[in-house]
Amino acid sequence: MNPTLLSRRRFAAAAALATLAPAAFAQAWPTRPVRLIVAGPPGGSADLVARLVADPLARELGQPVVVDNRAGGAGAIAVGELMRAQRDGHTLLVGVNSLVSEIPHIVKLPFDVGQQLKPLAELARAGLVLVAHPSFPAKNLAELVAYAKGRPGEISYGSYSPGTMSHVLGLILNQSAGIQLQHVGYKGSTPALTDLMGNHIPLMFDGLATSLPLIRSGKIRALGISTPRRAPQLPDVPTFREAGYPQMEAIGWMGLWSSPDSAAPAQASVRQAALKVLADPGLRARMLETGFEAGQPRSSEDMTRELHADFDRVGKVLQSVGFKPE
């Protein structure tokens, strides 16, 4: 046979195989259980979302989905575990967007989190709610601002961690309203909420999922929420935008992440499966019961652009008050 013709046929065959390879990979994947590394402790928000989606995701993928909690290090331990895993799509991470947009401002890490994580799907979302002790005299944000203006530096607010959005929202309110709320940082929502209920601090910015049971029981009171529209769980609580502070709008979302260089067909398959799971009305109802809304079907590119914008936004506010990472 003519050598040139033989070479052309070999090239055509190789090209055909290359075209078929991703499809064959997608059909074969996953070939073993999928591990969901959770950037948080058992019972935390990330764990709650991971366990809500694990079983239906397993049904879609045809393999067990195993939840593996790796708390600590402001999420660095979980990200490090993902970095050490094989890049074949069988190891994923569930964690909040602050891993990329906030944590790098707070803790000096040995790697660039934004370069190690790629968002595949937004699983759940919720706003931050400004909550108060029931005895606090202000019943809404406008009354709080008026009350604080007459008491500069005398009123404190808690956050679940310094440098996070629960801290930053108070700084934005101070700058926007010309008041001087004093920040008190905690290590987690639980100790901050305990002090709030004990009236050791009068105010706190917290995630809706952790505050919602206490709001419903009357142990704390909601003054406003950071979502673009009112939360369906708290229809009577106005948004910060409604109160005249659109700059305080913020969304926390729980993402399903992979390593950017993991197998592309696996990324596409797991994203498709996750979006199908999130479209189920039963799952969406369970999300609402726990203080979340089901995530929106945004693309990886859209989520990445938002992460960069939020990173810059948080950084500018923290720099304005001289905040330094640990």
Domain ranges of the chain: 32-126+252-320, 128-248
At residue 324 the predicted structure's pLDDT band, cuts being 50, 70 and 90, is: confident
Give the separation between CA 288 and CA 251, rounded to whole angstroms: 15
For residue 75, what is the DSSP state? G
Question: Domain spanning 128-248: which superfamily?
Answer: Periplasmic binding protein-like II (3.40.190.10)
Q: Hey, what CATH class is 32-126+252-320 in?
A: alpha beta
For residue 71, with 0-12 CB atoms within 10 Å meaning exposed, 13-18 middle and 19 or more buried, which class applies? middle
Say which residues have a Cβ less than 8 Å from residue 135's Cβ, sequence separation at least 6: 199
Model confidence at 7: pLDDT above 80: no
What share of the chain has pLDDT > 90, as a percent?
83
What local confidence, expressed as pLDDT, does residue 292 receive?
Answer: 95
Say which residues have a Cβ less than 8 Å from residue 68's Cβ, sequence separation at least 6: 35, 36, 37, 38, 81
Do 128-248 and 32-126+252-320 fall under one CATH topology? yes
Task: Please write the tens of the pLDDT for every residue from 25-50.
Answer: 445 799 999 999 999 888 888 999 99
Q: Which of 7-16, 248-257, 266-275, 304-313 has the lowest mean pLDDT?
A: 7-16
User: For all residues of the chain together, what is the average pLDDT?
Assistant: 91
Predicted TM-score of the model (pTM) = 0.85
What local confidence, expressed as pLDDT, does residue 44 receive?
Answer: 84
Model confidence at 23: pLDDT above 60: no
Place of tokens 């007459």: 150
For residue 238, what is the DSSP state? P
